[in-house]
Chains A and B, each alone.
Chain A
Amino acid sequence: MKNRYSHLRPLMLVALLFSVGAATAQEAPSPLDATTIHGDFQTDVQSYKPDPLIGAPRVPEKILSNTFANLLMSSGRFSAGVRYEAYLAPLQGFDPRYRGQGIAYRFASYSADRLQVTVGNFYEQFGSGLIFRSYEERNLGIDNSLDGLRVRVTPYRGVRLTGLMGRQRFFFEKSPTIVRGFDGEISLNDLVPGFDSVATRVTIGGSFVSKYQADDDPALVVPENVGAAAGRISLTNGGFALNAEYAEKANDPGLSNGYIYRPGRTALVSATWSGRNLGLLVAAKRVDNFDFRVDRNTTGNYGSINFLPALTRQHTYALAATIYPYATQPLGEMAGQAEISYHAPKGGWGGRYGTDITVNFSAVNGIDQRPLNDLQGARQGYSSGFFKTGSVVYFRDLNVELHRRFTPTWKLNAMYVHLTYNKDVVQGLTGFGVIDADIAIVDVLHKFTPKHSLRVEAQTLQTRQDLGSWAMGLLEYTYSPHWFVTVYDQYNYGNYDTAQRIHYLGGQTGYVGGTTRIALGYGRQRAGIVCVGGVCRFVPASNGASVSITSSF
């Protein structure tokens, strides 16, 4: 009760500062003369009508909406801001616990030469995020900002230290768990005298994060403080770069790992080389029991403390991106990825304008696990050699993409993808098995005049399993710089259930002016999966009209 309005205090501070700015602006120059106020706004409104054929349920409210508005103020070394959010009620596919509205984020920050202090909500990432990342991804309904204190110090050139402490946002409340973290990073070239001009650049870093959650388990004695540590190195020389990070986590029994006491380990290594017109990448990752979250009694997307990036290509064409997308399996996976991108220059087979080719391959398996059957004893769960790959295939993706401009007014993008997708493992289901699918995409753009363009996409996904094959067509007409209209149809023509051979027809039109974009849409939306960065959200089928507005200043 006593804390009910405590979250509004920084807001009053912001208001107070704004009024100070107003009062002093007329007089002699003051530090607040350089004050700027800026903001952004986003709203997505969707109407729903029941459509039993595609499985779109009746939505009692008929119209749902998600709205976000940020207001930031910066004045020299000082900045502050608030974000208002309203879910009236949350769009289908977002967690219903978002229902409501209020100030979801507010902060004040001060920067001196070697010091930066932030109080209130903040986002942060240590290294590649293996043990700590707080971030906002609205499209997934993820916002795990911490509410507390963060201090950054630069004691010497090339040395950056960050300490933080806070409680994670949990919808419109806060998680009771306290998260504490420290990160240190050293750029050797900046710190070591004489190393400044060396072509090889080396950065090393280390971090430690711990969470405190009271022991609430009726049967087990669970650790109340759980720590995780990580070390990393980044090495670059000309076009070559090597990045590696290794992390360990103390025993952390929870619902997701079956309350076992086995410590967690994760490693992520990547090497890239790029020269003129050629880029190469190889990367590998091992994850073993690394679900790190604020509440041991939960699973799912909410409450993660860390971020385990998926080592697979992030597809953007609809049939490749939303039917069989991969998401990192935090309990265990071995993953590898390789990519070659080549720009064939003008002339020869590169054609008159050059041709881009990208070949990408990724493979993910489970880790080798030897069950220990010790749930009545030490509860270590299983043993697993660090370099041992399991036999279960989680995911394979081989794709080739080609981009070529034929004339100033004709452009082509073509893509072939072969996917192997363990639907049971990735989506947590049973009975679907491992699905093989081939996808082909042709995307042609024609410019009629410098301002009028038409883009046509033809896609197909071929499989004999699951829902069978799909075809998709899309037309997008743009009139630069303001107008666009697009229509599309996804057709599940290969479904074994002939009643389910459904057309998902839809369209969108809109206006872009400066930083404002307004879009109106209507049509059927297939049930599918939206992913960003290897984190995915299921979106149920829907049928109706939508309005989206984004703006900023």
Chain B
Amino acid sequence: MKKFALLLTLSGVVAATAPAFAQTPASAPAAEGTKLVSRPLPAVTIRSLDGQAVSAATIHQAAAGKPTIVSFWATWCKPCIAELTNIAEEYGDWQKESGVKLVAISIDDARNAVKVAPLVRGKGWEYAVFLDQNQDLKRALNINNVPHTFLLNGAGEIVWQHNAYQEGDEAHLRELVKQVAAGQALTE
């Protein structure tokens, strides 16, 4: 009972706080609820495929001011592989039109993490790939399950996110990437 009361208090505090946050410059574009919250990726350590520790807060820098797609996936996740394969077929065109970079973050545990590099190279994907083996970054970003995709603007702020993948979804993502690259506010 006490716990419940406290949760209520907590949510009350959050609700009361929200309008104040909406006035801060950092969250000014957040006009449309959950999709447009602009925050950077947290400084959680992930691993490159050659074992180097990398802070997630820096991975957008490779796009040099252009948008970055961050896609959470796993070797055992069929829709994830479908999404990354479908984008891979058009990736060259996407990069030409918007300069976008795709970063694929695998949440595979010790059982499958060693299979990530052979799979990625075997499929000929040209993405930057990282491992989040104990799901620290997945947890910090409140991801329920994979696939889960984030779109970051050139400054590395999250401007859009989406859970799940259905055949054809990539066409919509491509339009959003173009809007972000052109500095437009997202219409969705």
Q: Interface on A for B, CB 8 Å cutoff?
A: 5, 8, 11-12, 14-15, 18-19, 21-22, 25-26, 33-42, 70-72, 74, 79, 82, 84, 101-103, 111, 123-125, 128-129, 133, 135-136, 160, 187, 201, 203, 234, 236, 239, 241, 243, 268, 270, 272-281, 283, 307, 309-311, 314, 316, 339, 341-343, 345, 353-354, 356, 358, 445, 447, 450-453, 455, 478-481, 484, 512, 514-517, 533-534, 550-553
Given A135-B135, A281-B114, do A514 and B163 touch, yes or no (CB 8 Å)?
yes
Q: Number of B residues contacting the other chain (C-beta, 8 Å)?
A: 70
Contacts of B162 in A (CB 8 A): 481, 512, 514-515
How far is B171's CA from A18's CA once the two chains are assembled, in angstroms? Answer: 39
Interface residues of B in 120-167 (CB under 8 A from A): 120-124, 133-136, 139-145, 148, 161-164, 166-167
Known: A123-B135, A512-B164, A533-B112. 5 other contacts (CB 8 A): A5-B2, A311-B111, A447-B167, A480-B168, A514-B34
Contacts of A8 in B (CB 8 A): 2-3, 6
Q: Which of B9-17, B62-70, B92-100 contacts A (4 or more CB under 8 A)?
A: B9-17
Question: Nearest chain B CB to A72's CB is how many angstroms away?
Answer: 7
Contacts of A314 in B (CB 8 A): 75-76, 111-112
How far is B108's CA from A269's CA once the two chains are assembled, in angstroms? Answer: 17
Interface string of B18-59 (1 = CB under 8 A from A): 001101111100000111010100110000011111000000
Contacting pair B163 A241 (CB below 8 A):
no
Contacting pair B20 A275 (CB below 8 A):
no
Interface residues of B in 79-125 (CB under 8 A from A): 89, 109-112, 114-115, 117-124
Contacting pair B17 A102 (CB below 8 A):
no
Question: Nearest chain A CB to B119's CB is how many angstroms away?
Answer: 6
Question: 20 pairs across A/B with beta carbons < 8 Å?
Answer: A5-B2, A8-B6, A12-B6, A25-B23, A36-B39, A37-B14, A70-B142, A123-B139, A125-B110, A136-B139, A241-B114, A274-B122, A276-B124, A281-B114, A307-B109, A310-B111, A453-B166, A478-B166, A480-B172, A553-B142
Question: Nearest chain A CB to B31's CB is how many angstroms away?
Answer: 14
Contacts of A517 in B (CB 8 A): 144, 163-164
How far is B117's CA from A280's CA once the two chains are assembled, in angstroms? Answer: 9
Partner of B39, one of A38, A309, A339, A342: A38
Which 9 A-B pairs give the minimum distances between C-beta atoms? A279-B118, A480-B168, A279-B122, A274-B121, A309-B111, A341-B122, A40-B142, A453-B167, A128-B110
Contacts of A345 in B (CB 8 A): 124
Partner of B21, one of A5, A25, A187, A243: A25
How far is B88's CA from A277's CA once the two chains are assembled, in angstroms? Answer: 14
Partner of A481, one of B42, B52, B145, B169: B169
